[in-house]
Structure 1
Amino acid sequence: MDSIERLLIERDCTQLSVDYGRLVDFGQAAKVAELFTDDGVCELSAGRFEGIEQIRAFFEKRQGQTDVVSRHVMTNIAVEVQDADHATGLVYLTFYRVVWTGEGPAPLGPPSFVGSYADSYRRTPEGWRFESRIGSTALKS
């Protein structure tokens, strides 16, 4: 595998994290399931969801919470290419969440928590997808 192929894989896997945060934070959480393989695993503080249908059901509930304002601030995205079809990654997360039904911007407080995602990625016929995304919390307010 040459350097360009490796960079393209890293970029595609990084984009999955960007899309994940954007979809959840901007009212399209149900589409997060499309970022996972059919047999994917998503483990968060809310539970472990196995398979695309469980993942979709969880994120559909999240999408229905219209009184929640959240922002996933993801940094230090490190992707390690294993081979042409597999990669792993570690993503730092600072997560803000506020229940808000008022006018204008929600009030800013400290982050709800700081943690990380341990990801594994797999190339599918549709492109790169999360094979698993395992969240962990390092700091909590």
Structure 2
Amino acid sequence: MTPAERIMIEHECARLIALYANLNDEARWEEIAALYAEDGSMTRPTSPDEPIVGRAAILAAFKARPARKTRHLCSNVVIDVLSPTEATGVSAMALFTPDGPPRLGSFHDRFVLKDGRWLFARRRGSLSF
């Protein structure tokens, strides 16, 4: 793999993290679910031991949430490229809502390249405090 190919993968995976946060704040659930591999898994920071597996189940979980206003901020994104089709990543997350204190945590992600698109294979969130 060339340095340029590695940088492109890092960019695509970091973009996926930012896109996820923006779509989440806009309640665009179908588009969020489409960011996952068909058999991908998601673990919310508030429920780190309860993975939701499969794109359809992830979509259903988002749709089942009560409506709310949020702003997610992601930073300290570090992507490690494992191969031309796999990468991992870690990012810090801050969640702001009008009716509660900020929540701070992180995401540990695994990415896969499927049909020319980088997707979440696993997204595991946790709260720091």
On whether the aligned pair clears a TM of 0.5, the verdict is yes
Q: How many residues align?
A: 126
Given the alignment of the two structures, is residue 49 of structure 1 paired with residue 27 of structure 2, yes or no? Answer: no
What is the letter of the counterpart of residue 129 of structure 1? L
Structure of greater Rg: 1
Tell me what 2:28 maps to: 28
What is the letter of the counterpart of residue 62 of structure 2? F
Tell me what 1:127 maps to: 117
Residues 22-61 of structure 1: per-residue CA shift (max 9 Å, x gap): 1110131332110000000001124421011100111223
Tell me by how many angstroms 1:97 deviates. Answer: 1.9
Tell me what 1:138 maps to: 128
Contact 1:31 1:56 in 2 (8 A): no
Task: Give unmatched runs, 5+ long, in structure 2.
Answer: none
Contact 1:91 1:116 in 2 (8 A): yes
Distance 1:95 1:30 in 2: 21
Tell me by how many angstroms 1:94 deviates. Answer: 0.7
Q: Secondary structure at the match of 1:69?
A: coil
Given the alignment of the two structures, is residue 16 of structure 1 paired with residue 16 of structure 2, yes or no? Answer: yes
Distance 1:21 1:35 in 2: 11
Tell me what 1:5 maps to: 5
Distance 2:107 2:117 in 1: 20
Tell me what 2:77 maps to: 77
Tell me by how many angstroms 1:126 deviates. Answer: 4.2
Distance 1:52 1:27 in 2: 16
Tell me what 2:105 maps to: 115
Q: What percentage of residue pairs aligned between the two structures are identical?
A: 29
Q: Secondary structure at the match of 2:98?
A: strand
Contact 1:38 1:52 in 2 (8 A): yes
Distance 1:126 1:53 in 2: 21
